[in-house]
Amino acid sequence: MRRTRLRSWRLGVAGLLIGLLVTTAVGAPGPRLVRLTFYYPVGVAGPLARVIDEMVAEFNRQTPDVEVVAVYSGDYDPTMQKVQTAVMAGNPPDIAIVEISEMPTLLAMNAIIPLDFYARAEGREWLRDFFPAFLQNSYSDGRFYAVPFQRSTPVLYWNKDAFKEVGLDPETPPATWEDLEDYAKRLVKRDAAGGVQRWGVTISGGWNDWLFEAFVRQNGGVLLDYGRRQLRLDSPEAVEALRFWVRLTNELKVAPPHSTWASTPPDFVAGRTAMLYHSTGILTFLKNSARFPFGVAFLPRKKQYAVEVGGGNFYVFEKIPKAHQDAAWRFIRWMVTPERAARWSMASGYIAVRRSAYEVPAMKEFVTKNPEYLVAREQLRYAYGKIMAPNFQRLREILKRALDDATGGRVRPEVALRRAQEEAEQALGAWLKR
Amino acid sequence: MAHSRASWRGQGGAQAFLYLLPSLLFLAIFTYWPMLRAIAMSLLEWNLSRPEPVFAGLRNYATLLADPVFHLVLRNTAMLAAVAIPISIALGLVLAILLNEPLGFLRGVYRAAVFYPTMIPMAAAAMLWVWLFNPSIGLVNYYLGKLGLPRVEWLYDMTWALPAVMISWIWKNVGYLTILYLAGLQAVPTELLEAASVEGAGFWQRVRYVTLPFLGPTTVFVVVVSLINSFQVFDAVHIMTQGGPADRSNVLVYFLYQQAFRFWDIGVASALTAFFVAGLLVFVVFVVGQMERGVFYEV
């Protein structure tokens, strides 16, 4: 008796549950859940993947009708490969952060959609709030394709203790190439056997093509003009810049000829180099790791101060439903609101992409306490768009090989760059205008 | 003799074919078909600037042959095989002979220790090697310093990057070769070794005149396996050097990966694959043919 009652009670509950399920699935009108796949890289050292995950989780909580699934995809190169493979297989992500120079390649693959329509709907002021230098890698043939997010410039880090040790003013970084050479000569430290204990300066490898571009700009040259489709890897300005590198690495031996992007920040922290050329995106990592006071400075000038912007932009993909593209825009807009841009900047050292982010109270307080977070932003006055072209990966490989060959002492700078120019002309083919 | 051959050709043959069918099926789907496709695609111009493939004849092969990086890559790959294989075979053989000696309970410990690197995925091991080769805080340079030898920039040095990759490769492969040789050693008849001892042969004489001749078949297998392994180096390069500096440690499979997944030049990547498969096949057939002449399989 008791048992049957229990059973019928259970049956009743089960029936109720099933009924509920059926009505929500079929009958009840409710917001449809749009699920978006979002590939993101982390281009610098540090636990930044967690910050992205937190921001995505927050968005998902605030936005019941959209669910963003964040997929960490390694650093910039693997992310691009993952995106390309997915696009080729007909299964593109909805959103991805990809390195800014990849835009023309994505366009050549018909992988991304223009975002003018969405940006215009936000009002004129929205786009104007972004630092103009960051928007230079967003346009192709007058259309807008990419929203700046994790954006940087290279900066010079210097170890103040090392400066003091050799009698340099610890508060004055080198301002010119001549200063840099002079300081590096004094800062280099060798042991009895002639082995290097501390390099004077390290111009980080791996993305040395990016750093080299800045040196060429400082010397008044341009490697590639995207709008005019012109390439000059072997201009006199470029050759002189590379000669300067070779002077540091091979003649004076005050800088390591080769390194990797990931190896040099730990080297700086370990005191193995007194000055470091790297992205502003490692600032928080250095702050948390270095046991000595260090400074952040503009890259030293030759004819002028100059850097190239760097980092990753948001893209929205082709061949996904319109509802996904609309939802993707909502996510991107949310991620670059002043508050989020400020939070991302404080967590990483990347420059907040919008001016208004620096008006956010938390950010105001933060940069008053940590003025070094403003150096890269100030340097934006001298910043240019980064080199970009379809088949950028090949161009980058060609240029890197020329730089590594030259600093390794295997090929003279002018020969290395002339060969690189020939190879790159072939690789870019019909895209170039001659 | 004649009888057994007849039955082999008859119903036994059909039966053998049936037994082999499942693996043949998988090989066909995952090996032969992709191989044929790669050869077909190697005749197409298909890359980022030409998303719709067009017939290109042998142009991709010509592009490859004209590429100085390809020649550098071939040289690096050959160098890796020529240097690392003899060293790892010698090490594997010596270790096997030593581990075959009665060492008490330590024998199991040593055997496990020698075989251990084979069990670790190369990608994980390569991460360790990155730290071991670190110029400032790495263990390798620390010991070099202790020995009074000059420190080396290893992975960041144009001369030393490839040797660094070789060292990690040897470390990874020696254990496997040791196991193969250990198995081979079990086939050496103890009565012959004892007879040699009675005749007054010392340890190394016994190794030279009794043990080594019996290891011929094992050595053929070891050489072939090592050769194939050495041509397939990828993860170590990908993690330790990315082929750098300036392609001085770039090898065939890594170069292939760059062409296919970084530059998206499907045509050239396919040509490279075809070249790679054909080259490896010819090489292995040649090596096996050469070596088997001097080897006897049965006692």
Counting residues of chain B whose pLDDT is more than 90, the rounded percentage is 53
Q: Which residues of B touch A205 (CB under 8 A)?
A: 156, 244-245
Counting residues of chain B whose pLDDT is more than 70, the rounded percentage is 94
Binning pLDDT at 50, 70 and 90, where does residue A20 land? very low
Nearest to B51 among A109, A195, A394 (CB): A109
| Residues B273, A60: Cα–Cα separation, whole Å | 45
pLDDT at A37: 96
Min Cα separation B173/chain A (Å) = 27
Min Cα separation A400/chain B (Å) = 7
pLDDT at B209: 86
pLDDT at A142: 93
Q: Which residues of B touch A400 (CB under 8 A)?
A: 244, 246
Rounded to two decimals, the ipTM of the complex is 0.83
pLDDT at B299: 45
| Residues B151, A239: Cα–Cα separation, whole Å | 31
H or E element in which residue A70 lies: strand A66-72
Average pLDDT over every residue of B100-110: 83
Average pLDDT over chain B, rounded to an integer = 88
Binning pLDDT at 50, 70 and 90, where does residue B189 land? confident
Lowest mean pLDDT among A77-81, B117-121, B198-202: B198-202
Of A371, A348, A366, nearest in space to A282 by CA: A348
Counting residues of chain A whose pLDDT is more than 90, the rounded percentage is 80
pLDDT at A47: 74
Give the residue on A whose Cα is nearest the Cα of B246.
A401
User: pLDDT at residue B294 above 70?
Assistant: no
Give the position of tokens 């019909």. A430
User: pLDDT at residue A74 above 90?
Assistant: no
H or E element in which residue B47 lies: strand B44-47
End-to-end alpha-carbon separation of chain A, Å?
A: 95
Binning pLDDT at 50, 70 and 90, where does residue B199 land? confident
B244 close to A (CB below 8 A):
yes
pLDDT in tens, B221-233: 999 899 989 999 9
Give the number of A-B residue pairs with CB atoms closer than 8 Å: 75
| Residues A213, A220: Cα–Cα separation, whole Å | 11
| Residues B40, B23: Cα–Cα separation, whole Å | 24
Contact flag A108-B258 (C-beta cutoff 8 Å):
no
User: Residue A297, Cβ neighbours under 10 Å: how many?
Assistant: 17
More confident residue, A44 or B156: B156
Q: Residue B43 has which token pair?
A: 């005749």
Angle, vertex CA A184, rays to CA A181 and CA A186, nearest 5: 115
Angle, vertex CA A351, rays to CA A350 and CA A353, nearest 5: 125
Average pLDDT over every residue of A185-189: 96
Determine the longest span between alpha carbons in chain B, in angstroms. Answer: 76
- A293 preceded by a cis bond (ω within 30 of 0): no
pLDDT in tens, A227-261: 999 999 999 999 999 999 999 999 999 999 999 99
User: pLDDT at residue A402 above 80?
Assistant: yes
| Residues B152, B161: Cα–Cα separation, whole Å | 10
Yes or no: say if B168 and B238 are a contact pair by the CB < 8 Å rule: no
| All structural domains of chain B | 67-264 (1.10.3720.10)
Yes or no: say if B83 and B96 are a contact pair by the CB < 8 Å rule: no
User: pLDDT at residue B107 above 90?
Assistant: no
pLDDT in tens, B231-277: 999 999 999 999 989 999 999 999 999 999 999 999 999 999 999 98
pLDDT in tens, A305-360: 999 999 999 999 999 999 999 999 999 999 999 999 999 999 888 899 999 999 99
| Residues A286, A269: Cα–Cα separation, whole Å | 7
Average pLDDT over every residue of B62-78: 94
Nearest to A390 among B48, B153, B261 (CB): B48
Counting residues of chain A whose pLDDT is more than 70, the rounded percentage is 92
pLDDT at A322: 95
Amino acid at site A344: W
Binning pLDDT at 50, 70 and 90, where does residue B187 land? confident
Nearest to A258 among B245, B247, B258 (CB): B245
Binning pLDDT at 50, 70 and 90, where does residue B137 land? confident
Reduced to 3 states, what is the DSSP secondary structure of residue B256? helix
Long-range contacts (CB closer than 8 Å, 24 or more residues apart) made by A427-430: A427/A391, A427/A394, A427/A395, A427/A398, A428/A231, A428/A389, A428/A390, A428/A391, A428/A395, A429/B49, A430/B49
Amino acid at site A196: V
Contact flag B136-A272 (C-beta cutoff 8 Å):
yes
pLDDT at B104: 78
Give the position of tokens 């990690």. B168
Average pLDDT over every residue of A282-296: 93
DSSP string, A245-308: HHIIIIIS--S-S---TTTHHHHHHTTSBSEEEEEGGGHHHHHHH-SS-EEEEPPPBSSS--EE
Contact flag A84-B158 (C-beta cutoff 8 Å):
no
User: pLDDT at residue A366 above 50?
Assistant: yes
More confident residue, A7 or B258: B258
Contact flag A397-B262 (C-beta cutoff 8 Å):
yes
User: pLDDT at residue A10 above 80?
Assistant: no
DSSP letter, residue B246: T
Q: How far is CA A72 from the centre of its chain?
A: 15
Residue of B46, B48, B76 to mutate for A, most A C-beta atoms under 10 A: B48
CA dihedral A188→A191→A194→A195, nearest 10 degrees, is -80
| Residues B292, A279: Cα–Cα separation, whole Å | 58
User: pLDDT at residue A382 above 90?
Assistant: yes
Contact flag A85-B261 (C-beta cutoff 8 Å):
yes
Q: pTM score, two decimals? A: 0.87
More confident residue, B138 or A68: A68
| Residues B89, A153: Cα–Cα separation, whole Å | 50
| Residues A350, A150: Cα–Cα separation, whole Å | 6
| Residues A216, A223: Cα–Cα separation, whole Å | 7
Binning pLDDT at 50, 70 and 90, where does residue B10 land? low
More confident residue, B110 or B87: B87
Contact flag B156-A259 (C-beta cutoff 8 Å):
yes
Of A92, A75, A42, A123, nearest in space to A285 by CA: A42
DSSP letter, residue A317: B
Min Cα separation B25/chain A (Å) = 25
Nearest to A401 among B134, B246, B261 (CB): B246
pLDDT at B101: 82
Average pLDDT over every residue of A420-432: 92
Binning pLDDT at 50, 70 and 90, where does residue B9 land? low
Lowest mean pLDDT among A42-46, A370-374, A427-431: A42-46
More confident residue, B4 or A263: A263
Q: Which residues of A touch B151 (CB under 8 A)?
A: 195
Give the residue on B whose Cα is nearest the Cα of A392.
B263
